[in-house]
Amino acid sequence: MKRLVVLLLCGLGVCPIAGCPPRIDDLPAVEVIVDGGGQFPENLAGVWKADSGGWEIVVEPNGTISSAVVSLGRVRLKPGRKTVVPMKMGGKGVFRAGRWAVYYSHERRELTVEITIESFRVELGESVVKGRTMDLFTGTISPDGRSWWASRFSFPQYVADTKKYRDHKLVVDPNETPPEELLFQKAPVPGRSDSGDSS
């Protein structure tokens, strides 16, 4: 748990080890941390798809995430970017992704990914749902580097605006909600070799 706290702080640009943090605008869209130094395993690059929830995470050879499909609306987002998509009932969804983080431990073959949506606003007919959310995935990579058993911890802050309820906060206590267990399977990046152990 201590490692997760450090990862979260570093993902926000407030790493306690580094002293005074740089300005957020100067930081990369994805922070990659490898426990004990060294390189992120290139063979973990690929499209990681979860067995439920619609999650899809595209990992590059250097460990950064180029895009992700999130369960909220099944929308593909890019870190640090704004995405606008049409909605089925005639409105639109506006999603602004924050900075994301990747943490990998060679010793434990443990991968942790933080995906933050700084703000979103989804129009559903005459109703609006808005807010922000952060999802944290952590778990072990299989020895062949093709499967990732991850626990998903979600920290949502939602507000609903309807005819009946104006700016109604939808309270979700992450402490009372057990983590969701997901199995991610990796498809290789086209044009790249995908063999080898991940340790």
Mean pLDDT of 40-68: 96
pLDDT for residue 23 is more than 80: no
Mean pLDDT of 17-21: 41
What is the residue type of 109?
A: R
Domain boundaries in the chain? 29-187
Instruction: Grade residue 2 by pLDDT with cuts at 50, 70 and 90.
Output: very low
What is the residue type of 192?
A: R
pTM of the model: 0.79
Max mean pLDDT among 71-75, 93-97, 188-192 falls in 93-97
Which value, to the nearest 10 degrees, does the dihedral of the CA atoms of residues 96, 58, 55, 170 take? -20
Q: How far is CA 123 from the centre of its chain?
A: 23
CA gap 97, 146 in Å, rounded: 27
What pLDDT score was predicted for residue 188?
A: 64
